[in-house]
Amino acid sequence: MNISYIKNEKVIATSASNDDLEIFEVNNSNRYTIKIKTKENIKLIDASISVDTAPSKQDLYFLNGYQSWTDTKEFSLNEKEKNIYHSPRFVINKFAMDKYGDATFYKYSNRKLHGYDIFYAKGKNELFIYNMNYKNAYLIIELLKNKKTINLVSDVKGLLLKKDEEFVVFDYFFFNDYKKGLDSFNKTFPIKNLEKIFGYTSWYNYYQDINEEIILRDLNALDKRFNLFQIDDGFETFVGDWLDIDKKKFPNGLKPIVDEIHKHGYKAGIWLAPFAVEEKSETYKNHKPWLKKDKSGNLVKCGGNWSGFYALDLDNDEAVNYIRKCLTYYMELGFDFFKLDFLYASALFEYDSRTRCMVQDKAYSLLRDILKDKIILGCGANIINSIDKFDYLRVGPDVSLEFDDVWFMRFFHRERISTKNTLQNTIYRSFFNDHLFGNDPDVFLLRDDNIKLNYEQRIALTTINALFGHVLMTSDNIANYKENEKKILDEALNLFTNAKVLEFKRKKKYIEIIYELNDVKTQLTYDTKKGVFINGR
C-alpha cells in the first residue's frame, strides 16, 4: 500500500510502517483488510494499491458511477468518461454543472477510467471486487490505460487521525473469477424480499405545474393494481421551504389528499430534497448560517436546478433540527413513502477531519433515524452509503421526454437527464436489486401526448423497467390510455410480477437480454444507440 498524509504541515508518503504509523494487513480467503495505527497526529491525503492484473482491450469493465444519476455501464478500454471541464467554463460556473458528480474532487483524464465500490471485469482477465469499508471510505477502482494497471484507491482525503488511533484504510473482497465474486456478493448482501412498488408520480407529465385538481384527477384514474401514489416537486412554495405549502395550488393543503390516497388503498408518497435550499426560498434569505460553506467561507452551490441551490450544513444543529422538523411534519400528515432527492449535496465539499464517505453515511443515517420505519426511496445518492439506510434507490438519471434529451445537454455532466443513459444504468446495476436495496429505474411512459419518445422507445423503456426494477412508476394519466397502451401495460405488469432475467450481455452497441416467464425463455436485443428492441417483442 502507498499512503500519503500531512504531519506538521509537511506531506509524507510511505509504503511501509514508519515513525508516524504502523500498517497491518490481514488476508482472509478472498477478503483483504489493511489498517493503520498512528503514532502521531496526522491528516490523510490518499492511499492506493496496484492490482496484479493488466487491463485488456478485449475485456468489459463494470464501472459504477459515483451517485444514482452518474452514467454506469460496462466500459471497454477504448471508451472515455465524460469530463465536464471540457465544456465552456462560463456555462459550468453559471449552472454549477461540475457539482452533480465527483468532478470537484476527482481528477478526470482520457488516460484512465474509474468507478466506485463495486467492480467487475468480464472477458480474458475476470475480476470481481466490492468494498466492505463503506462506512469509512469509498473504494475507487482506476483503470490506468497508459500504465496498463488497475489501481484501488481509498478515498481517505481529509481524515484527521489522532495519536494511537486505528483506522481501516482498505477492506474489500477480491476475486479473479466473475461468477465466484458475484456469488460472494450475493451471500454478503442476501435477498431482502422487499415489496415491489407499482406506482404513480406526478413529475414526468406536469413537473412543477401541479395542483390539487390535477393530483386528484390522476389519483382517480388509477386502479387497484397500483400500491403507491406519490406527489412530486411543485407542492411547496420554494425548495427548502418545506413547511410552506403553495396555497394557490393546494388551497386545502396536503392532508385531505393524503386521506384520499389512503381511501383508494394506496401508500401516500411525497418528494422532498431535505439537504437542498434554493436561492429564492425564505430559508436561503433568512438562515444563511444554516448553509454549508467551503474553506474560504463561500456558500456551497450544489447545482443549477430551480433558482440555483445550496446545501444545509449538517454540522449546524439548527440546520439539522430544521431537517428533522420538516420530515416530521410530513410524517404527521400521514405520508408513508418518502422520495428523498439530491442527497449527494450532503457531502459535496470536505467536512474537516472526516472522509466524504463518513459524512454521507451520517447524513443518510440521520434521515433513517428521523423517518424510522417509513419507506424511503433515495435519489441522487451515493450507492454504497444507501445500504441499510434506504429501502429503494434510484439507479439512473431522470428519464427524458426525448431519448437522449435536448442536444446541448449531451455536452454536459455525467448526471444529466437522459433516457438513453438511465436504461443502461437500469440494466447494468440490476445485480444490486433486492440485495443492497430495491432498484428504482425511474418511470415508464406510454402516453402519446407531451412526449417525444417514439412508440418503440416507449415500449423498450416500459419493458426494461419492468424486467430489471423493483419499482415500476409512471406519470401518465392512465385514464387516457387507448386499448393498445392498456395491453402494453398489462404485459409489463406481468413481466414485473412474474418474469426473471436469466442473463444480459453487451455486444458492442447492443445488449442481449434473456428472461424467463411461465417456463418460457425469451431473448431481446436492445439497441443502446436508438433505444429500441431490434427483434421486437
Nearest-angstrom CA–CA distance, 233 and 242: 11
Q: What's the whole-number average pLDDT of the chain?
A: 96
| List of residues 6+ apart from 521 with CB closer than 8 A | 502, 514, 515
pLDDT higher than threshold 90 for residue 378? yes
More confident residue, 90 or 6: 6
Predicted confidence band of residue 144 (pLDDT cuts 50, 70, 90): very high
pLDDT score recorded for residue 411: 79
- What is the pLDDT confidence band of residue 405, given thresholds at 50, 70 and 90? confident
Whether residue 425 contacts residue 433, with contact meaning beta carbons closer than 8 Å, is answered with no
Residue type, 273: A
Specify whether the CB–CB gap between 425 and 414 falls below 8 A: no
- State the pLDDT confidence band at 407, using cuts at 50, 70 and 90: confident
Residue that wins the pLDDT comparison between 85 and 537: 85
Give backbone dihedrals phi and psi of 493, rounded to 5 degrees, phi first.
-65, -35
How many percent of the chain have pLDDT more than 70? Answer: 100
Find residue 199's DSSP bridge partners: 228, 473
Q: What b/e readout covers 180-205, taking b as 16+ CB neighbours within 10 angstroms? A: ebeebbeeebeeeebeebbbbbbbbb
**List of E strands, 364-479:** 375-378, 392-394, 438-440, 443-444, 471-474
The pairing of strands 160-161 and 149-154 is unpaired
442: cell is 425511474
pLDDT at 300: 86
pTM summary value: 0.97
The pLDDT, as a whole number, for residue 212 is 98
**pLDDT at residue 351 above 80?**
no
pLDDT at 221: 96
Percent of the chain past pLDDT 90, that is, above it, reads: 93
Long-range CB contacts (within 8 A, 24+) of 515-523: 515/467
Taking alpha carbons only, the member of 159, 153, 102, 105 closest to residue 129 is 153
Q: Which of 525, 533, 481, 532 is nearest to 506 (CA)?
A: 525
Over residues 267-271, the mean pLDDT reads 98
Q: What's phi and psi for 28, nearest 5 deg? A: -120, 100
- What mean pLDDT do residues 479-496 have? 97
Please calculate the CA angle 493-494-497 and round it to the nearest 5 degrees.
80
- Length of the chain, in residues: 537
Q: Could you read off the pLDDT of 184-204 as tens digits, one per residue?
A: 999 999 999 999 999 999 999
Confidence at 147, pLDDT banded by 50, 70, 90: confident
Going by pLDDT thresholds of 50, 70 and 90, the confidence category of residue 410 is confident
The residue ranking higher by pLDDT, 537 or 130, is: 130
The pLDDT of residue 79: 95
CB 360 within 8 A of CB 346: yes
> What is the pLDDT at residue 536?
59
Cβ–Cβ < 8 Å for 269, 201: yes
Per residue in 35-87, pLDDT tens? 999 999 999 999 999 998 888 889 999 999 999 999 999 999 999 999 999 98
The Cα 83–Cα 105 span in angstroms is 13
Indicate if the pLDDT at residue 537 is higher than 70.
no
Helical spans, DSSP H, in 479-523: 483-498
For 176-245, strand residue ranges (E) read: 197-201, 228-231
Pairing between β-strand 60-63 and β-strand 42-51 as defined by DSSP bridges: unpaired
Q: Which amino acid is at 410?
A: R
Q: Coil, helix or strand for 507? A: strand
Q: How far apart are CA 201 and CA 475, in angstroms?
A: 5
Residues 6 or more apart whose CB falls under 8 angstroms from that of 90 comprise: none
Query: For residue 364, which of 352, 337, 351, 382 has the smallest C-alpha distance?
Result: 382
DSSP 514: E
Which tens digit of pLDDT belongs to each residue from 96-105? 999 999 999 9
Residue 145 burial (CB count, 10 A): 17
H or E element at residue 517: strand 510-517
Per-residue pLDDT tens over the stretch 281-323: 999 999 999 999 988 899 989 999 999 999 999 999 999 999 9
At 87, list the grid cell: 465544456
pLDDT attached to residue 148:
85
User: Quick one: which H or E segment has residue 270?
Assistant: strand 267-272
pLDDT at site 120: 98
| Residue 307 to residue 302: CA distance in whole angstroms | 11
Distance CA 50, CA 151 (A): 5
Residues in CB range of 321: below 8 A, 6 or more apart: none
